[in-house]
A and B are shown apart, each in its own frame.
Chain A
Amino acid sequence: QQPVQSPQAVILREGEDAVINCSSSKALYSVHWYRQKHGEAPVFLMILLKGGEQKGHDKISASFNEKKQQSSLYLTASQLSYSGTYFCGTEIGEYGNKLVFGAGTILRVKS
Chain B
Amino acid sequence: DVKVTQSSRYLVKRTGEKVFLECVQDMDHENMFWYRQDPGLGLRLIYFSYDVKMKEKGDIPEGYSVSREKKERFSLILESASTNQTSMYLCASSFRGPPPDTQYFGPGTRLTVL
Chain A residues at the B interface, C-beta cutoff of 8 Å: 2, 29-30, 32, 34, 40-44, 47, 49, 87, 89, 91, 94-104
Contacts and interface: CB of A to CB of B under 8 A. Distances in A.
B102 A41 contact: no
A32 B100 contact: yes
Interface residues of B, number: 31
B50 A44 contact: no
Interface of B: 4, 31, 33, 35, 40-45, 48, 50, 56, 58-59, 90, 94-108
A47 B100 contact: yes
Contact of A44 (B4, B44, B104): B104
A19 B45 CA distance: 26
A98 B58 contact: yes
A69 B104 CA distance: 25
Given A42-B105, A95-B97, A102 B45 contact: no
Contacts of B90: 41-42
A102 B42 contact: yes
B49 to A, nearest CB: 10
Given A41-B108, A42-B90, A101-B43, A96 B99 contact: yes
Given A2-B42, A87-B42, A98-B58, A41 B105 contact: yes
Contacts of B31: 97
A47 B58 contact: no
Nearest to B40: A103
